A = this chain, B = another copy of it.
Amino acid sequence: MSKVQVKKVVVAYSGGLDTSVIIPWLKENYGCEVVAFVADVGQGADELVGIEEKAIASGASECHVVDLKDEFVAEYIYPSLKTGAYYEGKYLLGTSMARPVIAKAQVDVARKVGADALAHGCTGKGNDQVRFEGAFSALAPDLHVIAPWREWDLESREECLDYLAERNIPCAASLTKIYSRDANSWHISTEGGVLESTWNAPNDDCWAWTVDPKKAPDAAENVTLKIENGEVVAVDGQAMSPYEVLVCLNEKGVKHGVGRIDIVENRLVGMKSRGCYETPGGTIMMEALRAVEQLVLDKTAFEFREEIGIKASHLIYDGRWFTPLRESVFAAAESLAKDVNGDVVIELYKGHATAIQKRSPNSLYSEEFATFGADDVYDQSHAGGFIRLYSLSSRIRTLNAAKQK
């Protein structure tokens, strides 16, 4: 494949080893100007210190750091939570939800600086390449996309470090890195190391944020969430923005060892991978939202919400954010969330986040109906007729079969 002609490329830059190599590599291999783009999705202040200088030192002509923290939580995470999406029953989609907000901001920077190409540092084996390029296809199909990891022949950290050293580009990266991690305000993921065998249990190194449940406080702690239209709007009586809610609940979750999962999942590219994910605040929020849904969704609506959750989980995971189907599925979830209002008390204890109290102005639960005794709305005599019609086709089927004999 002959290389495309590129004048100016915007690269998603993290300050890590990979993307530090990408900058000089792009300049050498494409003969183009390279603009660094850094997305702040809450991955931590440490990772952003001095990042602009580092990008320039690596050869970037400019470095744009964009604060996406509020947008990420308010416009990507909160709508996703309304769908109840867990990928393959467990994963709260932390990396998946971050990719579209980053890709969109990267395209915005490309438009601003007049770039004709986009580059990312994702490997050729993962989901993220699909998520980035899926977003680019929908938002900027006119821009070229360069995925250095699928092009170059660098195959190890050592080769990457050598590459930088040969060019006198400073890099603090260490030679060995056992675990591969991805963090944002919602979650941190850990892959590699002992996790590569599914017959190994995770060890302490596999968990980066949360306290080991076994070392978490012996005393449980309660936290109260206020929910409006399927969104957490206050914690312990304090109104907060979506991002503030997440920061606040992360802190509590971390302390009590909440939100750890260890999963073998199906990647979009056809292979399986194993990861340990920590989503402390998110786990608390999901528990609270589901608890209110228990009160307000009727049987058929609840079932549909569960189906929507499965669909949404795949759409988000698969990098389908900017598609008509994702919008349609989310429109359905948004509609159901109108009734999801209320308060929930979550008990945090050694890895558990359990809704122990819940109430809603829209609750369909009624103490009167649930308990014994006559009432206006529910008359037990109705049940006989209900059951008779409900099971009528079974009755006909069996009677008919008897008749055929």
Listed in ascending order, the chain A residues whose CB lies under 8 Å from chain B are: 1, 88-89, 123-125, 129-130, 133-134, 137-142, 147, 149-150, 155-156, 192, 196-202, 213-214, 218, 220, 262-266, 268-274, 290, 294-295, 297-304, 306-307, 310-311, 314, 319-320, 322-325, 327-329, 331-336, 338-339, 345, 347, 349-352, 354-359, 361-367, 369-374, 377-402, 404
Q: Are B271 and A370 in contact (CB under 8 A)?
A: yes
Contact B214 A380 (CB under 8 A): no
Q: CA–CA, A272 to B347, complex, Å?
A: 23
A261 to chain B, nearest CB (A): 9
Using known A-B contacts A297-B324, A325-B301, determine if residue A382 contacts B374 with beta carbons closer than 8 Å. no
Interchain nearest-CB distance for A193 vs B (Å): 10
**Chain B's nearest CB lies how many Å from the CB of A393?**
4
Cβ-defined contact, A298 with B324, below 8 A: yes
B328 and A304 contacting across the interface, CB-CB below 8 Å:
yes
Q: In the bound complex, do residue B268 and residue A299 qualify as a contact, i.e. CB atoms below 8 Å apart?
A: yes
A138: chain B residues at CB < 8 Å are 391, 394-395, 397-398
- The answer to whether A134 touches B400, judged by C-beta atoms less than 8 angstroms apart, is no
Task: Knowing that A155-B372, A196-B371, A378-B392 touch, tell me 19 more A-B residue pairs with CB under 8 angstroms.
Answer: A130-B383, A138-B397, A141-B399, A147-B383, A264-B295, A264-B358, A270-B378, A271-B378, A273-B370, A298-B325, A298-B393, A307-B307, A307-B310, A323-B394, A324-B397, A350-B351, A382-B384, A382-B385, A386-B388
